[in-house]
Amino acid sequence: MKEENCIFCKIANGEIPSKTIYEDEEFRVILDLAPAAKGHALILPKNHYSNLFQLPEEKAKNAIVLAKKLGARMVEKLNADGFNLMQNNGEAAGQTVFHFHMHLIPRYKDDNQKINWEPGTPTGEELEEIQKQIVE
Ligand code: 5GP
Ligand code: ZN
């Protein structure tokens, strides 16, 4: 289950070298080439899934468990003060490489990095309408 022209398929399967910080049968975890902060890593499944919708549930579970372990390890080893776990699905959501991946971003009190959004100001009625749209 590899995709011919997918760079992350090639990296995950070792055809293109990467700075690997973890590997098992299902996943390779590499350092991002354009990190948001020191230690920014990407969890890549070795098989090709374009996004979270395609990722089988069992792999999704394993990916989160791995993120939990590596997040704790990076905080300890890099002396980070916390970390963000991010995962983008679709161009509108900022996805640029269409092979599922999770960003593990160690954060430091003085890193001056922004991983943020402009907070909205919906009314109570608007929130209720959205709630209905999703639940019903
Ligand atoms: P997305 O925007 O799709 O969630 O994230 C893609 C990430 O992959 C970006 O943070 C980008 O810096 C990283 N990236 C893109 N190409 C490569 C590559 O060839 N090697 C590595 N290590 N990271 C890459
Ligand atoms: Zn791929």
- Cα 60 to Cα 9, 28, 120, distances in angstroms: 17, 14, 30
Q: How far is CA 119 from CA 25, 85, 116, in A?
A: 40, 19, 9
Residue whose C-alpha is closest to residue 101's, from 2, 5, 9? 9
pLDDT tens digit string along 35-56?
A: 999 999 999 999 999 999 999 9
Whether the predicted pLDDT of 1 surpasses 80: no
DSSP 120: -
Confidence band for 2, pLDDT divided at 50, 70 and 90: confident
Tell me which residue has its CA closest to atom 20 in ligand 1. 33
Q: How far apart are CA 106 and CA 1, in angstroms?
A: 31
Closest CA to 19 of 31, 8, 36, 6: 31
Of the residues 40, 48, 99, 101, which is catalytic? Answer: 101
This prediction's pTM: 0.96
Residue among 96, 103, 105 to mutate when testing ligand 1 (max atoms within 8 A of CB) = 96
Whole-number pLDDT of residue 116: 85
